[in-house]
Amino acid sequence: MSAVEVRGLAKAYGEVQALLPVDFEVEEGEVFGVIGPDGAGKTTLLRLLVSLLLPSAGGARVDGLDVVKDFRALRRRVGYMPGRFSLYQDLSVRENLDFFASIFGTRVEANRELIDDLYRHLEPFAQRRAGALSGGMKQKLALCCALIHRPRVLFLDEPTTGVDAVSRRELWEMLGRLKAAGITVLVSTPYMDEAGRCDRVALMQGGRFLALAAPAALARSYGHPLLAVDATGGPRLPLLSALRAHPHARSAYVFGETVHYTDRRPQVEPREINAYLAERGLGDLEVEPIEAGIEDVFMDLAADAGGPGAPVPEAAHA
C-alpha cells in the first residue's frame, strides 16, 4: 500500500488557483521531495495532505485514511513541521516536548530513541524558552515535536530554510535514519541541491508538477547539449547577453561563476561557442560540455511550461 495517494487534488482561493490538479503516490518508507521556488504551491500541497486545508477538487489518502473524511484519525498518524516556527515560544524546550507528547497520549521517554540524535543537541537548553533558541535549534525542536508520537508519515515544509549548513546536513542525515526506521517522509524545499538526498522528487512551479522521477533519472532526461562557460573574473552580463543572442541558443543562465548555455541543435562543439564569443570581444574563456543537474532540468522545464492544462512529463525511474 502506498503511504500517500493523491488523485486530482487541487486548491483554489476564488479566482486564484494555488494548486492545479496533481496525481502522485509516495511509497512506504520513501523520502519524497517536492522542490520549487516560493509560491510554487508546496505549502498548499502539504497543508492539504495533513488536513489543514479542504481541497477544492480531487482527494488524497495518507496511510490509508481520507484526508477529509478521516481527518481526526489521520492527525494521530502523521507528523507535520510547518515552514514557519509555530511552537509555543514562551514555553521551554522541555515544556514544548512534554506538551506535544501529552496531546498524543504518550511521553517523551517512550519514543526517546527516535529523537535522541536531535534532542542531545537540545538537552543542555532544556529550560530555555523556545523563542530564545537559534534558528537551527528551533528547527531541531520543531522536528522533535513532530516525531514525539512516532508518526507513520512525516511532512516537513521547507525544514532547512534559514538554517546554517551544519544544521542542514544534520537534518538530512536524520531523515535518512527515519527512513531506515520505516517512517515515510514527504519534504518540500526550494534548494535544488537537496534533491539528491531524496528517493524521488517532484519539480513544482505555478501550482503544478513539472516532472516527477528519481533525481538521477531527472538529470538524464535533459535532452539538449549543455556547455559551461567559465566567467570567473570577468563581467557576466555581456557574456550572458552574447550567449542568449546566439542564433541557436535555447537558454543561458548564470550558475555561480559559470554560465550554462544550452543549444537547440543536437550537438554543438565548445570551440564553436568560443569562436563566437571571441568575435564579440569575449575571448580567453573556458567552454566545456557538462552533465545537467536538477537545476538545469528545472529551468528548462519551467521555461517550456505551457498553460494550466499542460501534461506533466514523467521521467523514467532510475
**pLDDT interval class at 217 (50, 70, 90):** very high
- The per-residue pLDDT for range 36-76, each reduced to its tens digit, is 999 999 999 999 999 999 999 999 999 999 999 999 999 99
**pLDDT interval class at 204 (50, 70, 90):** very high
Return mean pLDDT, the chain: 91
- The per-residue pLDDT for range 283-305, each reduced to its tens digit, is 889 999 999 999 999 999 998 87
Task: Give the H/E segment covering residue 96.
Answer: helix 93-103
Q: What is the pLDDT of residue 78?
A: 97
* Nearest residue to 150 (alpha-carbon basis) of 180, 177, 187, 112: 112
To which residue does cell 543562465 refer? 253
Judge whether residue 311 has pLDDT over 60: no
- Alpha-helix runs per DSSP H in 228-268: 236-244
Q: What is the pLDDT of residue 215?
A: 96
Rank 18-27, 131-140, 172-181, 274-283 by mean pLDDT and report only the highest.
Answer: 18-27
Residues facing 187 on adjacent strands: 33, 156
Residue intervals in the chain for CATH 3.30.70.100? 224-291
Contact present, 60 and 155 (Cβ < 8 Å) = no
**pLDDT interval class at 316 (50, 70, 90):** very low
- The CATH class for the domain spanning 4-219 reads alpha beta
Contact present, 200 and 32 (Cβ < 8 Å) = yes
Which of residues 116 and 313 earns the better pLDDT score?
Answer: 116
Alpha carbons within 13 A on the beta-carbon side of 70: 15
Q: What is the pLDDT of residue 309?
A: 34
Residue intervals in the chain for CATH 3.40.50.300? 4-219
CA pair distance 134, 116, nearest whole angstrom: 19
User: Angle CA(282)–CA(288)–CA(293) in degrees, nearest 5?
Assistant: 115
Which of residues 118 and 225 earns the better pLDDT score?
Answer: 225
**pLDDT interval class at 135 (50, 70, 90):** confident
Q: What is the pLDDT of residue 163?
A: 82
pTM of the model: 0.89
To which residue does cell 566567467 refer? 231
CATH for the 224-291 domain, from 3.30.70.100, 3.40.350.10, 2.40.128.110, 3.40.50.720: 3.30.70.100
Judge whether residue 318 has pLDDT over 80: no
* Cα dihedral across residues 129, 130, 131, 132: positive or negative: positive
